Amino acid sequence: MAPGSPYEYPGDLAGKTVAVNFHTGSHYGAIHMLGGHLLKEQINLVHMGGPRSRWDALLKGEIAATPMMEPWISFALKAGGKTLAESRYRGSEVVTWDTTPEQVHAFGRALNRAVADFNARPGAFVHHILEDLPGDLGRLEPHEFGAHRLRYLPLRPYPKSEFERTYRWLLNWDLIDGGLAYEDLVDPACFMPDQGAPISIHS
């Protein structure tokens, strides 16, 4: 929320304009956070691209709220803004069908190594995250950064039960067309490195 915002909890945003980047984490996260407080028809989402454009629109009063990820949350709080709700979602690694199992395995090994390195020494990598902020906005110091919000996990299987739950949720919010199945989007022939567990392969 912008500095001086009159809104104090998600229910205050009934009918108010909330800017997201459609069909990304900000879009789905906004629905998750608002859906527990408002009716579907009371949620007013508009597409506005990346966090910089949404932050600028927030300061100009063109929108009431917008979901942000780190380091933008910490930046907004330092600037006098506030949060109404926080949520987390599980990210999936998405590759095209022409990606080979060997390429998937190599990527998985690199990603798992990066997760292990970060979790062992998070302070050594925070400066890379802070570089996501445009320089003209000013500097966010490492001690001002909400590192407690970061949760990086090794790759793990995408269970069919979780797929079905998420798929039904997407259908309920008119975010996906029907007629698809787990087998259409997840290739069980690809396995995670060194674990023998399937990795999700999305078109």
> Mean pLDDT score of the chain, rounded to an integer?
88
Higher-pLDDT residue of 24 and 14 is 14
In a domain, 1, yes or no: no
* % of the chain residues with pLDDT over 90: 61
In a domain, 123, yes or no: yes
Q: Is the separation of the CB atoms in 25 and 69 below 8 Å? A: yes
If asked whether residues 135 and 180 sit together in one domain, one would say yes
Q: Domain total for the chain? A: 2
In a domain, 84, yes or no: no
- What global pTM score does this model have? 0.85
- Phi, psi angle pair for 17, to nearest 5°: -80, 125
In this model, does residue 194 exceed pLDDT 70? no
Mean pLDDT over 189-203 rounds to 50
Domain that holds residue 164: 101-185
- Whether the CA torsion 91, 118, 81, 86 is positive or negative: it is positive
- Report how far Cα 51 is from the mean position of its chain's Cα atoms: 12
In this model, does residue 39 exceed pLDDT 80? yes
CATH code of residue 62: 3.40.190.10
In a domain, 85, yes or no: no
In this model, does residue 181 exceed pLDDT 50? yes
